[in-house]
Structure 1
Amino acid sequence: MPATTEWAESLRRWAIPEEFTRRTAETPWVLPRQMFARRADALIAEPSGATFTEARAALTEPGTVLDVGVAAGATSLPLAGRAPVEHVTGVDTDAELLSAFERRAAALGVPCRVVRGTWPRVAGQAEVADVVVCGNVVYNVADVEPFVRALAAHARRRVVVELAAAHPLTELNELWWRFHRLRRPDGPTAEDFLRVLEQLGIRAEVTRWRRPARAEYATAGELVDVTRRRLCLPPERAGDVEAALAGLGVDPAMPPDLGSSGRDLVTVSWAGSSRDR
């Protein structure tokens, strides 16, 4: 089976059976905007990680940045002040997160533009940039080939992609079994993404690293609420979720986001293919 087909099939297995989704009026596909904002603020204040290092290395000369799946700017805005960034374009589907990105870019004095929509559907609305970054998005992309090719086609110098070593929702698998006796998938993984790139003829450089632990929610209660909704549990089960998280060893003083990226990460980068020089 081609790597792109296997990737798509692995992602389709994450669909939640209707017998669970119909038990609650809340969507399990939670978008924890507060976590994205906290992560962006932490990394803007103190950049770290291989993704930042790789993107900065491609900006030794002044240049522009395109951030696909920008959220609040955690992948692109840490470059401001540490590299000669002339302009950042952020692409995302969420209007509130795009506004959060714009506010942070303005505070840093970085010219920016936003494009709202799904990549690569809106790729034609985004300018070619010197460096294209994409942080923790690809596990949401079943049709991965056009997504990746559009990233490369929009980069003059470099594409830098960050993803978790394993599908981030696997962190909740033990809880799905505990509460629902439902076995969840364990793929795809970063290794599967690398096989996709190989199939597409992309020669990439790979760095495996670990994100330092930090509080990603203001309170443990926020983590409990997001986790409960992801598990299709009603509000009255919050106490049970809190106890289960404690059983997993989650520190309430450092509440992580289980299901957005994880701490074991992989940064993949390759040369851009844009002919717009």
Structure 2
Amino acid sequence: MQTITTVAELRRELAKACSAGKRVGLVPTMGYLHDGHLALVEASRAQCDVTVVSIFVNPTQFGPNEDLSSYPRDFVRDEKLCRDAGVEIVFAPGAQEVYPAQFETFVEPGELAKPLCGAFRPGHFRGVATVVCKLFNMVHPDVVFFGQKDFQQCAVVRRMATDLNLPIKIVTVPTVREPDGLAMSSRNRHLSKEERRRAVAIGRGLFAAAEEFRAGVREVEKLIAIAERQLETVDRLQYLELVDGDTLKRAESPLRFPAALCVAAYVGSTRLIDNVLLGLPTP
């Protein structure tokens, strides 16, 4: 495995893979890797000849009062996990490599970036879309792998790739969970033991609504209420919304399209997001 920190060196190495006709997969991360990230690596290795894992805590997607400085980092551990998982290249650029002096060009996403997290984190998806577009241009991957936990991010990136004619396949990998149902996240390490116990309610609420959906319930407010009843142990519910799986617009009763039940909640001072997909045949 190689660890590369500059775009020039990355391109030189990947040019060899390209000339050999190899398929390149990219797993974009902000580091502090867990089994959810490793599931993306596994999916990439199954579909591609070369897997690149990028590790970069992107400053432009954090607001002024968010957790950029405290975002968990352990690069030595991340390198070992990637090596053990069979990753060919770890790309770990510094901030100046990604955003050089006088940088001023951003990717501005549209309507998909406005609801859910976008309503509470102004500029977040502008930063996400920009750094992901830059990574696409740095790596030139054939396939890119994202986790379903970041459902809105997947939608924004997929739309960006389509709108900008980027010849890249976007693959969404199902959320990986702890045995008790909590979605794996780098931010989980901030939870105390007591907060970790209460955080399980997030997955429990989503699963309860999904079970009722499978039983035939199609009323939006009823499904939301079922989930919300399980969320009493969180400290602050930022949003709990049932949205159209494609447009992210609020779903209407009765459900006729594939939908996503999405949640953002604070447990202690830690903000956690999660979702479940409610599948229906598209009319």
Q: TM-score, normalised by structure 1?
A: 0.36
**TM-score (structure 2 length as normaliser):** 0.35
Q: Which one scores higher on RCO, CA 8 angstroms, separation ≥ 6?
A: 1
